[in-house]
């Protein structure tokens, strides 16, 4: 089954296992690739290999190796141009920092399986015999749809507290139920997630929100108490009432839950984080007058999204794009009243595709009226890209050549000209120059015409 889905990787991985076997070593596929094979969910996944060969021996046997984690028994072996993680069977000893073991000892496959996080990830596959090797009951848990820690769940989480987020990600992705003792241990350890670097937390959150069931991931984060620790601003949306005529679905958090479900499977990170954070400013801006209002929640939310994503050390591009989506999401209500020039500028923004999809989701998660979305999609289908954001007929140097002096006035004239070009009032460079001659006066008072 693996070979039929990822033949290039499978062939290269077999070469590594064959070389190790011919040298007298055990070599097995390990972890996620085996789990996904049994679930029938293999895409272009990595194939990790576990072996009883020590890192020094792996380095001897293969020409191209990279010791990315040799102290933990992990080497990268490049075969046919494809990198593979080849790890020596090991047991981890200690781990006071909630992430790194104090030391590792090389061992056999069974003991290696026992130190892994969850039973569904503790499986091996022997490509020579095409058989699954299960020391931890992972096959049965996969059939039963259960996510269970291997051994003592408290111990597993203490070894690496990021496993709490991984448990939620796997449960949401596969639609599994977290086994009771594992769930209880997770809930009792949520405060220790602070021992994990924000980079690792952000990466795990992004994986779960960009997977197959982001709503369930959000729900499990909330039910476990992790949401209040890693994203307290999202947790603060709970219980914030909204005007029923626009939001019959309920409070801000309920709206966000529904919106996350409408993301579908595998949304891109900009869209996923934008949908999660688009109403993040509502708790701080709620007022009650003629009705419940959230004035400027889009702008407050934009600033909050910047702070949240920067706190998580997200990439600058993601921070800026999510901020743009959050900050612009209320402008969609005015699109049918916009001047043509304003509409074209609206549609020419680099984040417009994400914004459009977020607007559609926002509408469907509340009042259900998608008329503005349909209007914009129709306008986009009619307007060509060169009409939405055409090259300006006139540049600053053209005005300088006419006798204008450098200064802020130049920018105002160019903005006026470009708006008229977008409004299709000016159709050529000659018309633009004629408009300048008829409309503007030089700084010395001379009329150009």
User: How far is the C-alpha of 151 from the C-alpha of 110, rounded, in Å?
Assistant: 13
pLDDT of residue 449: 46
Q: Which residue in the block uniquely carries the two structure tokens 């009329």? A: 447
277 and 356 belong to one structural domain: yes
Q: What sign does the dihedral 294-299-302-308 (CA atoms) show?
A: negative
pLDDT of residue 441: 78
447 found inside a domain: no
99 found inside a domain: yes
444 found inside a domain: no
pLDDT in tens, 344-400: 999 999 999 999 999 999 999 999 999 999 999 999 888 876 678 889 999 999 898
331 and 279 belong to one structural domain: yes
335 found inside a domain: yes
pLDDT in tens, 161-210: 999 999 999 999 999 999 999 999 999 999 999 999 999 999 999 999 99
Range of the domain at 304: 232-386
Question: Higher-confidence residue: 114 or 44?
Answer: 114
281 and 427 belong to one structural domain: no
User: How far is the C-alpha of 449 from the C-alpha of 438, rounded, in Å?
Assistant: 6
- What is the rounded average pLDDT of the residues 102-110? 85
pLDDT of residue 125: 96
Q: Say yes or no to pLDDT of 96 above 60.
A: no
185 and 301 belong to one structural domain: no
445 found inside a domain: no
Task: Specify the CATH number for the domain of residue 325.
Answer: 1.10.3210
11 and 30 belong to one structural domain: yes
192 and 56 belong to one structural domain: no
Task: Specify the CATH number for the domain of residue 169.
Answer: 1.10.110.30
Domain count, the chain: 4
pLDDT of residue 45: 77
79 and 169 belong to one structural domain: no
Mean pLDDT of the chain, nearest integer: 92
**271: exposed, middle or buried (Cβ count in 10 Å: 0-12, 13-18, 19+):** buried
Q: Say yes or no to pLDDT of 44 above 70.
A: no
Q: Say yes or no to pLDDT of 303 above 80.
A: yes
Last residue of a domain, one of 343, 358, 386: 386
294 found inside a domain: yes
Predicted confidence band of residue 66 (pLDDT cuts 50, 70, 90): very high
pTM: 0.86
Last residue of a domain, one of 80, 107, 138: 138
378 and 299 belong to one structural domain: yes
Task: Specify the CATH number for the domain of residue 31.
Answer: 3.30.460.10
Q: Say yes or no to pLDDT of 403 above 90.
A: no
206 and 341 belong to one structural domain: no
Which stretch, 69-78, 252-261, 386-395, 396-405, has highest mean pLDDT? 252-261
209 and 322 belong to one structural domain: no
367 found inside a domain: yes
303 and 292 belong to one structural domain: yes
């Amino acid at each position: 089954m693996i070979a039929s889905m990822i033949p290039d990787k499978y062939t290269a991985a077999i070469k590594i296992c064959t070389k190790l076997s011919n040298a007298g070593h055990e070599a097995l596929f390990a972890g996620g690739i085996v789990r996904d094979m049994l679930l029938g969910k293999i895409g272009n996944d990595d194939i990790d290999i576990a072996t009883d060969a020590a890192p020094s021996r792996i380095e001897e046997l293969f020409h191209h190796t990279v010791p990315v984690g040799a102290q933990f028994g992990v080497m990268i072996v490049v075969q046919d141009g494809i990198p593979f993680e080849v790890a020596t069977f090991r047991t981890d000893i200690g781990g006071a920092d909630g992430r790194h073991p104090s030391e590792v000892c090389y061992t056999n496959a069974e003991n290696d399986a026992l130190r892994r996080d969850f039973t569904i990830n503790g499986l091996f596959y022997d490509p020579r015999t095409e058989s699954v090797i299960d020391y931890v009951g992972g096959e049965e848990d996969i059939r039963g749809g259960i996510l269970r820690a291997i051994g003592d769940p408290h111990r597993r989480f203490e070894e690496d507290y990021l496993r709490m987020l991984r448990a939620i990600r796997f449960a949401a992705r596969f639609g599994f139920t977290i086994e009771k003792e594992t769930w209880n241990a997770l809930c009792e350890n949520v405060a220790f997630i602070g021992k994990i670097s924000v980079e690792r937390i952000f990466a795990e959150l992004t994986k779960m929100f960009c997977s197959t069931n982001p709503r369930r991931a959000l729900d499990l984060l909330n039910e476990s108490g992790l949401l209040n620790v890693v994203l307290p601003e999202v947790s603060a949306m709970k219980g914030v009432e909204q005007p029923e005529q626009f939001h019959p679905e309920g409070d801000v958090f309920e709206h966000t839950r529904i919106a996350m479900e409408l993301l579908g499977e595998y949304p891109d990170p900009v869209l996923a984080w934008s949908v999660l954070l688009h109403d993040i400013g509502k708790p701080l801006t709620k007022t009650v007058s003629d009705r419940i209002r959230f004035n400027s929640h889009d702008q407050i939310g934009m600033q909050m999204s910047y702070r949240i994503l920067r706190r998580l050390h997200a990439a600058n591009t993601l921070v800026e794009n999510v901020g743009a989506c959050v900050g612009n999401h209320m402008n969609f209500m005015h699109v049918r009243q916009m001047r043509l020039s304003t509409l074209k500028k609206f549609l020419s923004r680099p984040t417009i595709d994400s914004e459009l999809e977020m607007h559609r989701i926002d509408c469907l998660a509340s009042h259900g009226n998608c008329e503005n979305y349909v209007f914009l999609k129709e306008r986009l289908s009619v307007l060509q890209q060169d009409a939405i954001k055409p090259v300006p007929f006139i540049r600053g140097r053209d005005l300088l050549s006419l006798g204008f002096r450098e200064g802020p006035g130049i920018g105002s004239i160019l903005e006026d000209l470009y708006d008229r070009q977008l409004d299709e009032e000016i159709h050529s460079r000659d018309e633009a120059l004629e408009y300048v001659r008829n409309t503007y006066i030089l700084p010395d008072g001379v009329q150009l015409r």
